[in-house]
Structure 1
Amino acid sequence: MTSNTFSKLSIIIPAYNEGNTVHLILDKIKQVCLPQAIQKEVIIVNDCSTDDTEIAILRYKENNADLPLYYFKHEVNKGKGAALHTGISKATGEYLVIQDADLEYNPHEYSILLQPVLDGFADVVYGSRFMGGNPHRILFFWHTIGNKFLTFISNMFTNLNLTDMETCYKLFKTDTIQKIRFRENRFGFEPEVTAKIARVPNIRIYEVGISYYGRTYAEGKKINWKDGFRAIYCVLKYNLFSKG
């Protein structure tokens, strides 16, 4: 895929109880101007939210017809990974990027993720919260240590030198990631996709620095220490014991 034929970016948004912020992130996405006249396609998957997430999304869709927005809903809560599986399967752009429904990641930085692709160097681009000079909210020491530890052990098995395996911002060539069969329904998606994408023949993986506007648990952050242990298990499972 060359930049000359790259015409649409699919933006995959898993949403669970994000009724207070989902319209704000959609506003940011709507305002983004992508380079080389690349079009946007927003695919949002409501993972059986119990708040007004669905109302907020449908209201936004009705009032913003100029933003191509496709809405899907899980009838039972399955987890972030499951919502991503659904969203990825529905993507029609040449590339896709994962975007959380909260305000921790800034859609105006899509151009940073896209640049290695447009320059003809990359098939996959990770946005790292631990490199570059962009703003980073100061929050949890042990959460940061945990992220770096997970990245370290993931790198040991994949032989990659990533600085942030757990980042939300990952950009993939759509036809490549749609060929991968995913099993993890929660936050284990991150180590699983990293292990499996690293095994794709001749894959070119790049990393760029991004900003990070993290949330506290009181503000709605959902990942916890149990997900950290599951991530360790997934690193081992998908690098040592499972190749499918």
Structure 2
Amino acid sequence: MPCLNEAETLAICIKKAQSFFTTYKVDGEIVIADNGSTDGSIEIAKSLNTKVIHAEKKGYGSALKAGITASKGTYIIIGDADDSYDFGNLMPYLKKLRDGFDLVMGNRFKGGIEKDAMPFLHKYLGNPVLSFIGRLFFKIKIGDFHCGLRGFSKAAYNKMSLKTSGMEFASEMVVKSKLNSLSITEVPTTLKKDGRTRPPHLNTWSDGWRHLRFLMLYAPNWLFLYPGIVLALIGLILSTVLVIQPLKIDGLTLDVHTLLYASSFLLVGFQFIIFYGLTKIFAVENELLPKSNRYNKLFKIINLERGLVIGFIALSIGLFLSLRGLSVWSDTNYGTLDASTTLRLIIPAITLLQLGIQTILFSLFFSVLGLKK
């Protein structure tokens, strides 16, 4: 149990857990992961014969990591010490763990949420939206990403290699379990109004943003790759059409001004894709994301030499079109040009020059980040 000034409810939580051990004849221990309590929580925990661990760093995740590391059990169940969860009813978790599941999540929406137990925004906006994003990004079939009561094996925890220290630790545990191909299931869990008189430590907006930020950073395909592909395709198709001739739609004429925007779409989309590649390498090589067969294939498809060749080809075509545009200008004795005709040469030329330079720089940086590989 993570603990930061939980003197009002800590004793009842400990006693419920002890009752569970006795009732179901479970050989277990209770670990209180203290995060700097000053209200007598430590003394309460010690008086009830629990193991007290002092987390050196502040934060929900830091406290849990300290407690989990110090625990000796084959299976570990974590839960808040605010008496909102029933520690006397942990058998569904233990049964699933004994059945071989690596991570067992509680689902408060299936088990029941007592009136006023969960703030309105958390119940109808924050939790459902973040859980939906988690399911969409990582294809995890659970309904409650942020349930504070969950169980896992110590062996599975060691495979997760969790890094975060704050409230996003809850999301990281689920995501890392999926990325490491660990088995995940859920059980219905009831949530009742906590027994504290003070406000909760959870901050709706800042902690919600930390969860969302984590989900986005650990899914670079959704953050960079998919938007980049969409932008690049729109830009490429529209640019190709407009280079050939103006596009007329129901009396609306799209000409070189639209071509300029279309080429910008292509460039921005390409930059998104580049950022995806660089983020992926950085995350994997720094052990934030696990290596996969797809990652290993990436270095076979993309390498420095191939990138340099493609980059110089784009540069050469861009330079050729630029010289062609200069030739058209010279034919007019460097006088006034027809903007529509000239820009159909110049815009693709500038776009290819930029794409060529970006490809070369990306290839060089890609190879530097992949040196460890």
Query: TM-score normalized by structure 2?
Result: 0.55
SS at match of 2:191: coil
Paired with 1:70 and 1:34, the residues of 2 have a C-alpha distance of 18
Compared with structure 1, are the counterparts of its residues 178 and 35 closer, same or farther at alpha carbon in structure 2 (3 Å cutoff)? Answer: farther
- Whether 2:61 is the aligned partner of 1:81: answer yes
Compared with structure 1, are the counterparts of its residues 35 and 20 closer, same or farther at alpha carbon in structure 2 (3 Å cutoff)? Answer: closer
Which of 146, 160, 173 is matched with 2:126 structurally? Answer: 146
Following TM superposition, by how much is the alpha carbon of 1:135 offset from its aligned partner in structure 2, in angstroms?
5.5
Following TM superposition, by how much is the alpha carbon of 1:117 offset from its aligned partner in structure 2, in angstroms?
2.9
Compared with structure 1, are the counterparts of its residues 94 and 196 closer, same or farther at alpha carbon in structure 2 (3 Å cutoff)? Answer: same
Deviations 1:48-84 (A, max 9, x none): 11322122222222xxxxxxx2111135x51111001
Following TM superposition, by how much is the alpha carbon of 1:106 offset from its aligned partner in structure 2, in angstroms?
0.5
SS at match of 2:28: strand
The structure with the greater share of residues assigned to helix is 2
Compared with structure 1, are the counterparts of its residues 115 and 136 closer, same or farther at alpha carbon in structure 2 (3 Å cutoff)? Answer: farther
Which of 39, 53, 62 is matched with 1:51 structurally? Answer: 39
Residue 192 of structure 2: aligned partner: 213
Deviations 1:2-30 (A, max 9, x none): xxxxxxxxxxx110011121111111111
In 2, are the aligned partners of 1:21 and 1:102 still within 8 Å (CA)? yes
In 2, are the aligned partners of 1:45 and 1:87 still within 8 Å (CA)? yes
Structure 1: unaligned runs, 5 residues or longer: 1-12, 62-68
Paired with 2:64 and 2:150, the residues of 1 have a C-alpha distance of 12
Residue 128 of structure 1: aligned partner: 107
- Whether 2:6 is the aligned partner of 1:18: answer yes
Task: Please give the residue correspondences for 1:1-244 in structure 2 after superposition, counting only pairs within 5 Å.
Answer: 13-33=1-21, 37-61=25-49, 69-75=50-56, 78-118=58-98, 120=99, 122-132=101-111, 134=112, 136-138=114-116, 139-144=118-123, 145-201=125-181, 203-215=182-194, 218-224=197-203, 225-240=205-220, 242-243=283-284, 244=288
Structure 2: unaligned runs, 5 residues or longer: 221-278, 289-373
Following TM superposition, by how much is the alpha carbon of 1:215 offset from its aligned partner in structure 2, in angstroms?
3.4
In 2, are the aligned partners of 1:196 and 1:238 still within 8 Å (CA)? no
The one-letter amino acid of 2:51's match is Y
In 2, are the aligned partners of 1:123 and 1:204 still within 8 Å (CA)? yes
Higher relative contact order (CA 8 A, sep 6+): 1
Following TM superposition, by how much is the alpha carbon of 1:217 offset from its aligned partner in structure 2, in angstroms?
8.2
The structure with the greater share of residues assigned to strand is 1
Compared with structure 1, are the counterparts of its residues 223 and 49 closer, same or farther at alpha carbon in structure 2 (3 Å cutoff)? Answer: same
Deviations 1:151-198 (A, max 9, x none): 111111110121100001111111110233222111010111111011
Compared with structure 1, are the counterparts of its residues 34 and 148 closer, same or farther at alpha carbon in structure 2 (3 Å cutoff)? Answer: farther
Compared with structure 1, are the counterparts of its residues 37 and 56 closer, same or farther at alpha carbon in structure 2 (3 Å cutoff)? Answer: closer
Compared with structure 1, are the counterparts of its residues 218 and 239 closer, same or farther at alpha carbon in structure 2 (3 Å cutoff)? Answer: farther
Identity of aligned residues (%): 25
Bigger Rg over Cα? 2
Paired with 2:107 and 2:47, the residues of 1 have a C-alpha distance of 33
Aligned length: 221
The root-mean-square deviation of aligned C-alpha atoms, in Å, is 2.1
Over 6 Å off, 4+ runs: none
Query: TM-score normalized by structure 1?
Result: 0.83
Paired with 1:236 and 1:34, the residues of 2 have a C-alpha distance of 43
The one-letter amino acid of 1:128's match is N
